[in-house]
Structure 1
Amino acid sequence: MLRCISVFSLLVVFCCSCLASADDGTLYRHFVVNATSRNAVCNDGSPPAYYVRLAEGSSDWLIYLEGGGGCYDEQSCLERYQSSQFLMTSSLSAETFSFSGPVSSNCTANPAMCRFNVAYIHYCSSDWWAGTYPSSKSGNKFHFFGRNIVQAVVEDLLDETVNSTISGSMKTATRVILAGDSAGGCGTFQHADSLASFLRASLDVGQDLVYGAIPDCGWFLGGDGFKEYACTNNEVCNVEHRFRSGESMWGLSPPVDCAAAHPSDLWKCLTGNVIYTFIKEPVFPFLFLTDAWQAVQDGIDIHHPYSQSETAWEESRESENRGYIQGDNMKSVYAVNCVQHVMLYVNSYTDIVVDGVTPSMAIKEWLDGGMQEVKHVDSCTGVNCNKSCPYSFPQ
């Protein structure tokens, strides 16, 4: 079980439903081979785990990056290791795994991708899938190889000598979707273009590959929060402080174009409004206009009724996000106006409705339409105006 304990208390409400039902299809665990020599290990040095389910006769693939936050300095990483060790190692990973949302093999709940081959990559690098530093450079005992781990998993799926069960299984792929939630959504932004380039150079189909990216709630904003406070733990800390502080420890390696535009502030490439502008491949972000995790980091108490000033702050976040996604600024987006975090699993995937369309239906619409423009943005205004969100805060 990978997701039923969350590093963020705000996720506890719905993470206990995270394992999919029996008909959602079992995925089987594999480990990255020669992970140490490839600089592709978990925080604790263990080889990363990933889960695969092959779909007979299908050349479609979903690569899914697990979420789970991160840490930004030695103390926060030690705290994370004590409270959420499973997010820093593969040693606690189960042999089999089932998941809902786009990973599900249930075609009623997941009509768009139920017959895809799936590679679900366990998150164990705490660096938003963008780090490149070993412990010898990070300044503490932990490695941060998120960027390398994604590359290593895909290489293993292409290599016919790695594993008799899955060796070379991705080589004949003709359509690949990269997706992920929360930190995995952030990682999806980070890898969207580089993975596409690598696959087109490696797959049998070459440049004819059909490819797209679906980041779920990996859209985080920098800047000041509602409250200014010292970051004293890993549960609550200003987003910009997290990214600024972690940048040098992780060996942050964002997409080249973004890094060139922000050489002195690489951390900005982890923020959704910045990184989106550099992505060339088709991308379909899913986001909450008032994301619950962002609200907590901003200093909002999401577990109690909002004060007038908290409400005003959240409405300003809503307005800010609308500005980023309106008009031609974003070709495709699914944006919901409620205080929640993560959309593409459990009930949210099939229950949330915008323009009469659920997230599950929106993905099918996007894929069936050749990954052209699909926009569903809540027109209602005010905190939690969309009443279809099953896990919105305050509760």
Structure 2
Amino acid sequence: MMTAIRLICSLMLLVLMHYGVLGARRFRGGRNPQPRRAPPSPTYRERGDTTESFPLDFTAVEENMDNFMKQVKNLAQSLYPCSAQKLDYDMKLHFLENSSVTCNDGTPAGYYMKESLGSRRWLIFLEGGWYCFNKENCDSRYETMRRLMSSSKWPQTKTGTGILSPLPEENPHWWNAHMVLGLCLWCLSLNMCPLCSGGYAFMGSLIIQEVVKDLLTKGLDKAKVLLLAGSSAGGTGVLLNVDPVADLLERRGHTTVQVRGLADSGWFLDNKQYRSTDCHDTVSCAPTDAIRRGIKYWGGVVPERCRLAHLGEEWNCFFGYRVFPSIKSPVFVVQWLFDEAQLTVDNIHLTGQPVQEGQWRYIQNLGIELRNTLKDVPAMFAPACLSHEIITRNYWIDVQVKGTSLPRALYCWDRSFYDNSRNNKAPPKGCPVHLIDSCPWPHCNPTCPTIRDQFTGQEMNVIQFLMHMGFDVQKMAQQQGMDPSKLLGMLSSGS
């Protein structure tokens, strides 16, 4: 009975939302909505396909989304018996059917899942969380970040945020997908070692494969789109696992499932450190040294096409710009131009003291290097911000590049597959998918996330931040006889 009530509630809510969107279009455009109907996203409905349940396009109401969704919720809650039901937005814990695939300490591996009635869109998110590469720092990691290496104290439910949120006002394009959060996938989600040095198991890639197999029994076999997403080490895991996931589905006969990747903050560089130090832990170790040591300790493997391109130096495949040319599946790359994790492994530590001139130049050059590695990536979003990870943050809808938000760019990317299926190679007008900031220093983009002083925790504006970085905007503006805000504008444009 309760299941039937929830089904009725869901259907009524969807009907309200559908007619609410049409009404909003009519209100904003002052015209009958029928003559000009926006084409649906490819992941919602393609020509001749009437089985997708949610052909809704929120673009027309995105400017008033908060108010619109508030009205929809009020209407839904006012209906009996829906008013007596609490909408369940939590993802629930599931352990893998295959108990031989485990977390690092041998406890059962698993995932969190929230189903979305009738949807044929699936999103699997790979959690990040740094890494370790020998027994000493893995022991330390086990003591300080045990939830990333063991399932012994996992809660029964989790609430999704950002692109994992089921709320349209927080997640305009993917709110109605089946949400899956994969755990115990760290060490860049690529490892297949059942029992490696030090007694730890590294089975990230196997866990991903087993999660997909489990989900095939829960409706993934009827999916239209599977988006494999991840942040930080999970973002690197996307680059390494998106093709193997696609290959798994193809081998099992599910050739109609469109597998795509979304890699957030996992596009690391194997560049030279600002200051070389002995390789003792993941903070002091240069990126290439850490991966070279780790790949042996983990028993790591890499995708076959990348392995053949880097025989004898397979560690190269852990760096985005090196593995990307070998990837067949479509991948959207999200990367801060001044990634905090990259700066950390490069031995740039932003303490309470202003940075030195050499550090400032190094930071600016990092942005240039990242731009160069991203220039041939067709679908990407790269703001000039000092930060790390974005797609599960509550501010992910606020950051823009050249006037386009990340959710909007992802919508345009999805739409491009639909347009291409209709033999229309030209990208939709006003719907960009290749977005990269051109301004030259951290936080020259005014929509960047809030900066906080690492010692006091207080927020800093852009001028305070630049002074913290050793750039005296006030003094420079005074010397030039201009207002500081005008100088900031000139710097942002690269003048």
Q: Residue by residue, what CA displacement relative to the aligned partner does 1:192-250 show, whole Å, maximum 9, x if unpaired?
A: 111112123336xx333222110000111113211101133344432212211101111
Task: Tell me the alpha carbon deviations over residues 120-169 of structure 1, each in whole angstroms, 9 at most, x when there is no partner.
Answer: 101x253110111122xx2211010011000011111123xxxxxxxx32
After TM superposition, the structure 1 stretch with the greater mean CA deviation from structure 2, 274-283 or 368-377, is 368-377
> How many residues are matched?
356
Higher Cα Rg: structure 1 or 2? 2
| Whole-angstrom distance in 2 between the partners of 1:114 and 1:187 | 23
Residues 197/393 of structure 1: CA separation in 2 closer, same or farther (3 Å cut): farther
Match of 1:28 among 87, 92, 99: 92
Selected match of 1:101 from 117, 139, 162? 162
Partner of residue 251 from structure 2, selected from 201, 206, 214? 201
Please list, as runs of the form range in 1=range in 2, the aligned pairs for 1:56-205 lying within 5 A after superposition: 56-122=117-183, 124-135=184-195, 138-159=196-217, 168-202=218-252
Give 2:348's aligned residue.
Answer: 300
Structure that is richer in helix per residue:
2
Does 2:375 correspond to 1:375?
Answer: no
Q: 1:310 aligns with which of 342, 352, 359?
A: 359
Measured at CA, do residues 151 and 294 of structure 1 come closer, stay the same or move farther in structure 2, by a change above 3 Å? Answer: same
- RMSD (Å) for aligned C-alpha atoms: 1.9
Q: In 2, are the aligned partners of 1:28 and 1:53 still within 8 Å (CA)?
A: yes
Query: Structure 1: which amino acid aligns with 2:210?
Result: A
Amino acid at match of 1:341: H
Q: Which fold has the larger relative contact order, with Cα–Cα distance below 8 Å and residues 6 or more apart in sequence?
A: 1
Name 1:351's counterpart in structure 2: 398
2:107 is paired with a residue whose SS is coil
Aligned-pair identity in percent equals 29
Once the two structures are superposed, residues 43-84 of structure 1 have per-residue CA deviations (whole angstroms, 9 ceiling, x without a partner) of: 000111201111001111011111111111111101101111
Give yes or no for contact 2:274–2:347 (8 Å, CA) kept in 1.
yes
Query: What is residue 78 of structure 2 aligned with on the other side?
Result: none
Give TM-score scaled by structure 2 length. 0.69
Structure-2 change in CA distance of 1:394 and 1:247 (3 Å): farther
Return the letter of the residue paired with 1:183.
A
Counterpart AA for 2:199: K
The amino acid of 1:307's aligned partner reads Q
Q: 1:134 to 1:209 in 2, by over 3 A?
A: closer
- CA contact 1:43–1:125 (8 Å) conserved in 2: no
Deviation at 1:382, TM superposition (A): 1.6
TM-score, length basis structure 1: 0.86
Bigger mean CA deviation after superposition, 192-201 or 96-105: 192-201
Within 5 Å, which residues of 2 pair with 1:208-227? 208-227=256-275
Whether contact under 8 Å (1:81, 1:88) holds in the other structure is yes
Pair 1:263-2:324 in alignment: no
Residue 392 of structure 1 deviates from its aligned partner by 4.5
> Does 2:380 correspond to 1:330?
no
CA contact 1:46–1:89 (8 Å) conserved in 2 = yes
DSSP-derived class of the 1:35 partner:
coil
Q: Deviations over 1:292-340 (max 9, x none)?
A: 00101100012333221111111111111111122xx111110111111
**Contact preservation (8 Å) 2:185, 2:205:** no
CA contact (8 A) 1:24 1:98 kept: no
Gaps of 5+ in 2: 1-85, 421-426, 428-432, 455-495
Taking the aligned partners of 1:287 and 1:302, their CA distance within structure 2 comes to 20
Contact 2:282 2:290 in 1 (8 A): no
- SS of 2:387's equivalent in the other structure is coil
Equivalent residue number for residue 11 of structure 1:
none
Of 360, 371, 389, the residue aligned with 2:448 is 389
> Take 1:346 and 1:32, find their aligned partners in 2: how far apart are those partners?
27
Matched, 1:320 2:366: no
- Which amino acid in 1 is paired with 2:163? P
Matched residue type, 2:236:
C
In structure 2, C-alpha distance between the alignment counterparts of 1:231 and 1:24, rounded to whole Å: 47
Q: Tell me which moved more, 301-310 or 58-67.
A: 301-310
Q: What letter matches 1:207 in structure 2?
A: T
Q: Secondary structure at the match of 2:222?
A: coil
8 Å Cα contact 2:127/2:185 also seen in 1 = no
Query: Is the CA contact (8 Å cut-off) linking 1:302 and 1:393 kept in structure 2?
Result: no
